[in-house]
Amino acid sequence: MFSSKKVHLVKDRYIPGIIARQMGAYIVVSVEFGNTTTKSLITATDLRTRKTYMVSKIVKRTVDVASSKQQDIFGMTVTGIPLRKDDVVRFVKGVLAESFNDARLSPIKDIDFVVRSTGVVASLRLPEEVDIVIKALADGCLSAGIPPEKMIPVISKEQLPKRLKELSFMDIFPFDGSVAGVKPLEKSVVANEMEGELVTAGVKDAAIWENIDIRNPIVSLDFGTTLAGRVANDKVPVADVTATFAGYAGAIADFVTIGAGYTSALDITEIEEKEEKKLFKKILSEVEIGVIKNKESVGRVPIDPRGAEEKGIIIVGVDADEERLMEIGRKIREKDMLPYLRATFDKVYTEIFAEIIKLLLKLELVDDRYSIGITGRAGITDRKPYMMVEAIKDMGIYKNTEEMMIFVEDALARGAAVMARCMHRLCYPKRPLCGVRGGKYPYKMVSR
């Protein structure tokens, strides 16, 4: 069916917490409060091989955060789940506690670092609302027994545990904010910028498992509920961000399935391998893809087009009409077409992905030197990876398309582990994540 014999799809590899402790692995918690799911993912990186393993992954539906109390609601998720600070704190605490119990790890003795992230900021309008979510995440971590020092980087090498001091290069050069060889933005131009930063690092980290070189220049795309990611060029020693992504991703499928009577696309389990062409065209007709210049938000994601223009960054957005998508869902239910939905969504997201890449090519932001990394439920599930590789082949960009593309499960959690290692300068010059594809470690370092 597909001409691609091998698609690089990196699934999570698991090891028990006791093994992670015994090998002296670098253990990081990524707590992700999302619009559709909330996760606590504990990763362990073998600092000898730089391979990152999953120790525990606890996933809860964010809809369960809602309580019967209607007072003190400060905002909603993209799909309309009401949020109260106390509920978020309780929910995050519970997910983390279950994760530590599952991994049999102590948040005090065994965890090296904790990275908090949220895609819910995409649906919030006011800075005060964003602050509440971030504070609730921190309070949830503290309530779960995580010491505050585990959530901030150390200032000097002497503060690191003995097993990490020997591997850290903090005494040679301090942390400058760059993660996996990409310069940080002084001010975010999209609300979910941190997600874009983490997934970019995460897809580079995952490439170690496939023994391929996925580094700068790169296009990273996170097709979670909302769209995130970035384009980074080949500047050394650290690359510049030239474009960033925002808007709807998995939410497009969610709105359709909500109209059909479900809570999200994750509820659709019926599969008919053949997509429905009329349905595909109808859904896609409600989707807009383009450069965003004169809007304050796209797909409910707050953006700063003026700030982006000042920095020379392009914002590529994906928007859609929620009500019309839900109306399509209602008609699907009436006509008993639910079995065709998942296969149809495969084609919808392949087309959205292809249109994004075509736009980047037209803008001359990418060429055949750029790797492509994809993560998120609307990018890596079912037949999407194979279809997306075929779409790129049809464009004729690369000589060997498969070696230029990677699909990654939980790239955000991998990126959290990378960010923590970068903060502590746990570098590995023999297998760098920074620098350009095919190149050496871009920093001059004294020998040890």
Given a cut of 70, whether residue 140 has pLDDT beyond it is: yes
Euclidean distance between CA atoms 157 and 170, whole angstroms: 6
Higher pLDDT, 176 or 396: 396
Spell out a b/e string for 336-366, using b for 16 or more CB atoms within 10 Å of the CB, else e: ebbbbbbbbbbbbbbbbbbbbbebbeeeebb
What pLDDT score was predicted for residue 5?
65
Does the domain made of 9-178 have the CATH classification 3.30.420.40?
A: yes
241-247: strand order across its sheet: 9-10, 405-408, 371-375, 218-223, 227-232, 241-247, 314-320, 287-291
Cβ atoms of 30 and 428 within 8 Å: the answer is no
**Integer angstrom CA distances of residue 319 from 23, 251, 374, 392:** 46, 10, 19, 22
Please compute, for residue 440, the number of CA atoms within 13 A of its CA located in the half-sphere on the CB side: 3
| SS3 state at 290 | strand
Euclidean distance between CA atoms 175 and 172, whole angstroms: 10
Higher pLDDT, 285 or 3: 285
How many CB atoms sit inside 10 A of residue 180's CB?
Answer: 27
Question: For the residues of 149-198, what is the DSSP string, one character each?
Answer: GGGS--SSGGGS-HHHHTT--TTTS---S-BTTBPPPSS-SBTTHHHHHH
The tokens for 192 are 């979910």
pLDDT class for 448, splitting at 50, 70, 90? Answer: very low
Q: What is the pLDDT of residues 330-355, one digit of tens each?
A: 999 998 888 899 999 999 999 999 99
Lowest mean pLDDT among 63-72, 317-326, 335-344, 374-383: 63-72
Given a cut of 90, whether residue 429 has pLDDT beyond it is: no
Q: Residue ranges of the domains in the chain?
A: 9-178, 193-412
Query: Angle formed by the axes of helices 384-395 and 341-362, to 10°?
Result: 30
Task: State which amino acid sits at residue 219.
Answer: V
Q: What is the pLDDT of residues 399-422, one digit of tens each?
A: 999 999 999 999 999 999 999 999
Please determine whether the domains at 9-178 and 193-412 fall in the same fold group of CATH.
Answer: yes
Question: For the residues of 300-320, what is the DSSP string, one character each?
Answer: TEEB-HHHHHHHT-EEEEEEE
Alpha helices in 221-321, H assignment, sequence order: 250-259, 277-284, 305-311
CATH topology of domain 193-412: Nucleotidyltransferase; domain 5 (3.30.420)
Given a cut of 50, whether residue 151 has pLDDT beyond it is: yes
Q: Which whole number is the average pLDDT over 56-80? A: 88
Average pLDDT, the chain: 92
pLDDT class for 390, splitting at 50, 70, 90? Answer: very high
Euclidean distance between CA atoms 323 and 329, whole angstroms: 10
* Chain center to CA of 332: 30
What pLDDT score was predicted for residue 73?
87
Q: pTM here?
A: 0.94
Q: Which whole number is the average pLDDT over 319-340? A: 93
